[in-house]
Amino acid sequence: MRINKLHFAAVIVVFFIAISCNQTTQPAMEPPIAKIIPKTLTMHGHSRIDNYYWLNDRENPEVIEYLNAENAYTSESMKKTVKLQDEIYNEIVGRIKQTDISVPYYYNGYSYYVKYEEGKEYPVFCRKQKGDDPHEQIFLDGNKMAEGHAYFQIGGWEFSTNNKLLAYSVDTVSRRKYDIYFKDTESNRIFDEVISNTTGNVVWANDNKSVFYQVKDKTLRSYRIYKHIIGTPVDSDEMIYEEKDATFSVSVYKTKSEKYIVLSSESTLSSECRFLDADNPNGDFKLFQKRIPDVEYDINHQNDRFLVLTNYKSKNFQVFEVPEDNTEIDNWKELIPGRTDVLIEEVNVFSDFFVVTERKNGLPEFRIFNTKENTDHYLEFEEDDYFVTSSVNPDFNSNKFRYNYTSLKTPQTVYDYNMLNSEQKLLKQQEVLGGYDPDDYITERKYAKARDGVMVPLSIVYKKGFVINGDSPLVLYGYGSYGYSIESTFRSSRLSLLDRGFAFVIAHIRGGEEMGRHWYEDGKMFNKKNTFFDFIDCAEYLIEEKYTSSDKIFAIGGSAGGLLVGAVINYRPDLFKGVIAAVPFVDVVTTMLDESIPLTTGEYDEWGNPNEKEYYDYMLSYSPYDQVEAKDYPSLLVTTGLHDSQVQYWEPAKWVAKLRDLKTDDNLLLLHTNMDFGHGGASGRFEQYKEIALEYSFMLMLLEPDSYQ
């Protein structure tokens, strides 16, 4: 279904399209018309007629035939831009340093890094043992492993404590169901035992033979933890824990101190942890603190205590400490109090330090604590709009904190910060080929006043020479769900838009967590419409301030952001030149009533439970699919993946079919279904840029239809 806030590492494939208000560019081919088979859906005494419910069957040949017909129509619509697509693709790929290597990080006697080779799609994972002239060991070669697969993704990997055995996971379907394999790195022998239907995460105990992993149920909810012993049959694996509450999911990890294995059970608004001595994998997990409604907590072990990040008694979270032998909530001692103007997002522990990621005025910052000297200080950053995040910091005993810095114009940059003497070292900045100069671009942070008086942040980037006169094209992107903050990160592919005169703007609307926990709560459940209205008000602000006009502004959203733009065009179809809905969650009520669909039950705390009438009525009032009417709509491109595990393909397919039947305009409406991939789109490093080249060509063609007759 939607994009979970904890795993937004998945890439949303966003397609761009626009079309002239006064002149349309229609292909010679007639658009496909889905047949109508009415199905009555009744709940709470209310009946809905779904004419396209039959599309909910990927095994039906007629469904595949319809999706292929839509793809053919999209191809016909875009055939005049093939040369332009090639040009843009070559631009984007030409900025990428194809032979590249990541900054190594050190852990347990080895340095680890990832490298890319010219012309190849997938990463190669390597390590070197510390010492003079160390030999490079390639332990996973994504290019070789991907051979024969239309889709390929390495999930997670982890070495045993003695560095001899490797556990890794692979998805070749794009349903985020991973198979776990084991490999002897000395002989390169892959073991016979394969564990299927997992999240891909593996945790080694300290005995070098016991591993813990997570299994998914039929809805793809992570609901069980198992223990596997290397060399034994998988079907004899011991089930360690089963989460029977369908609104919770489970995960497992090892503390950075390597002393404990932690089992965490989480819902949207509550969590519960258990922990086990990693030296004793056959022991029993001990309950850290039983779950409490509306209380979330996360634990990190440091020496003889745990640090607890929690919203207990503080909406914006605070940090407690508690002895490792007496962890119940009554023993929690306040370490960092909660504040109304600061959101605490993360705690990263070291033996003598810990780093707290805080967010103030929508921007993240690092607060460094020295536990030996009992002091703390903040790192400072120069730009007014930026994003920083902690990088890979696996060494518990290190005094260096590694982090990543970027902005809408600053490429990804890796730093090491010495927490003892405050010295900072730049390790690497993403190289953009072709003479890129960030000084050629301008970033701004503005605030749009929403209709209820709330000030909504906007992050803006454009190239020098962009004219603020109401006649320039602009892309407005939003998400606004799960408390997931959309960050101001650099994308070299975006330069092909900026260099062609576009501005790119992120609307930090409610439903995210940019401005604190209240920002999230004010954009969910019965406050969900604030998300849509914020986005509309941001668009109107940009038009009023003459950054663009309704003839040249484009709305973009993916997954839950697809719900956003889908709802927005029902409220204000006149506001945008074109709208892009990527893998959109648009059939809200039907999906949330179907507990067999992945992620549904775990999201009642996000959207509401439509089995209760008040939630049903509210969700129905904004559900994009249910609210489609006979009226003019802007130009629209909708994308989906046949194997999408998060937003099932039939939601966007049904939505397009209904729009095509009811809309009263001649604007272009396209549906593109990737028949090989799922929610994240293409898995290859360069393959994804073919999709982006298509997106940009949509925009350019439809802004200038006379050029593509």
Domain that holds residue 80: 5-94+440-708
Q: Does residue 356 form part of some domain?
A: yes
Q: Does residue 107 form part of some domain?
A: no
- State the chain's maximal CA–CA distance in angstroms: 76
pLDDT at 3: 37
What tokens were used for 684? 């290859």
pLDDT at 601: 72
Q: Higher-confidence residue: 301 or 85? A: 301
Which of 228, 508, 643, 679 is the catalytic position? 679
In this structure, the answer to whether residues 169 and 259 fall within a common structural domain is yes
Answer yes or no: is pLDDT of 679 > 60: no
User: What does the pLDDT average to over 45-53?
Assistant: 97
C-alpha span between 495 and 86 (Å, rounded): 16
What tokens were used for 66? 């319809």
C-alpha span between 148 and 676 (Å, rounded): 13
pLDDT at 702: 80
pLDDT at 684: 61
Q: Does residue 138 form part of some domain?
A: no
C-alpha span between 199 and 560 (Å, rounded): 22
In this structure, the answer to whether residues 472 and 598 fall within a common structural domain is yes
User: What does the pLDDT average to over 373-381?
Assistant: 95
In this structure, the answer to whether residues 558 and 411 fall within a common structural domain is no
What tokens were used for 317? 């979270």
Residue 338's pLDDT band (boundaries 50, 70, 90)? very high
Question: What is the domain-level CATH number for residue 417?
Answer: 2.130.10.120
C-alpha span between 222 and 267 (Å, rounded): 11
C-alpha span between 287 and 326 (Å, rounded): 10
∠ CA(153), CA(154), CA(156), 5° rounding? 140
> Where does a domain end: 275, 290, 305?
290
Residue 581's pLDDT band (boundaries 50, 70, 90)? very high
pLDDT at 229: 97
User: What does the pLDDT average to over 203-212?
Assistant: 97
Distance separating the N- and C-terminal Cα atoms of the chain: 38
> Where does a domain end: 267, 290, 313?
290
C-alpha span between 480 and 238 (Å, rounded): 40
CB-based contact 638:652 (threshold 8 Å): yes
In this structure, the answer to whether residues 375 and 271 fall within a common structural domain is no
Cα-based distances in Å from 613 to 45, 46, 370, 556, 625: 10, 10, 52, 31, 19
> Where does a domain end: 249, 269, 290?
290
Instruction: Please write the tens of the pLDDT for every residue from 166-201.
Output: 999 999 887 778 999 999 988 889 999 999 999 999
In this structure, the answer to whether residues 281 and 304 fall within a common structural domain is no
Which of 160, 270, 271, 559 is the catalytic position? 559
What tokens were used for 309? 């990040």
pLDDT at 25: 45
User: What does the pLDDT average to over 77-83?
Assistant: 91
Active site residue 679: yes
pLDDT at 5: 34
* Count of structural domains within the chain: 3
Q: Which of 441, 458, 459 is nearest to 495 (CA)?
A: 441
- Assign 3-class secondary structure to 453-472: CCEEEEEEEEECCCCCCCCC
> Beta 553-558 vs 474-477: how paired, if at all?
parallel
Instruction: Please write the tens of the pLDDT for every residue from 493-535.
Output: 999 999 999 999 999 999 999 999 999 999 999 999 999 999 9
In this structure, the answer to whether residues 270 and 350 fall within a common structural domain is no
Active site residue 77: no
> Beta 553-558 vs 578-582: how paired, if at all?
parallel
Contacts of 233 (CB under 8 A, 6+ apart): 193
The DSSP secondary structure of 344-383, one letter per residue, reads EEEEEE-SSEEEEEEEETTEEEEEEEETTTTEEEE-----
Which of 171, 644, 645, 683 is the catalytic position? 644
In this structure, the answer to whether residues 340 and 401 fall within a common structural domain is yes
Contacts of 18 (CB under 8 A, 6+ apart): 473, 552, 554, 577, 578, 635, 698, 699, 702, 703
Instruction: Please write the tens of the pLDDT for every residue from 659-675.
Output: 999 999 999 999 999 88
What tokens were used for 519? 């920002």
pLDDT at 450: 98
Q: Which of 227, 337, 363, 324 is nearest to 282 (CA)?
A: 227
What tokens were used for 319? 């940090």
Q: Does residue 114 form part of some domain?
A: no
- What radius of gyration, in Å, describes the C-alpha atoms of the chain? 25
The DSSP secondary structure of 266-283, one letter per residue, reads E-SS-EEEEEEETT-TTS
CB-based contact 281:261 (threshold 8 Å): yes
**Cross-strand pairs, 165:** 184
C-alpha span between 280 and 292 (Å, rounded): 28
Answer yes or no: is pLDDT of 475 > 70: yes
CB-based contact 617:644 (threshold 8 Å): no
In this structure, the answer to whether residues 482 and 423 fall within a common structural domain is no
Cα-based distances in Å from 335 to 301, 317, 322, 350: 14, 12, 10, 16
Q: Which of 297, 324, 296 is nearest to 308 (CA)?
A: 297
| pTM (two decimals) | 0.89
Contacts of 82 (CB under 8 A, 6+ apart): none
- The rounded percent of the chain whose pLDDT value lies above 90 is 81
Q: Which of 691, 602, 677 is nearest to 17 (CA)?
A: 691
In this structure, the answer to whether residues 186 and 211 fall within a common structural domain is yes
Question: What is the domain-level CATH number for residue 571?
Answer: 3.40.50.1820
What tokens were used for 26? 């229609």
Residue 101: Cβ-neighbour burial (10 angstroms; 0-12, 13-18, 19+): middle
Residue 695's pLDDT band (boundaries 50, 70, 90)? confident
pLDDT at 598: 63
In this structure, the answer to whether residues 654 and 678 fall within a common structural domain is yes
C-alpha span between 582 and 679 (Å, rounded): 9
CB-based contact 460:505 (threshold 8 Å): yes
Q: What is the mean pLDDT of the chain?
A: 91
CB-based contact 412:492 (threshold 8 Å): no
Active site residue 559: yes
Instruction: Please write the tens of the pLDDT for every residue from 620-657.
Output: 999 999 999 999 999 999 999 898 777 899 999 999 99
Residue 21's pLDDT band (boundaries 50, 70, 90)? very low
User: What does the pLDDT average to over 580-587?
Assistant: 94
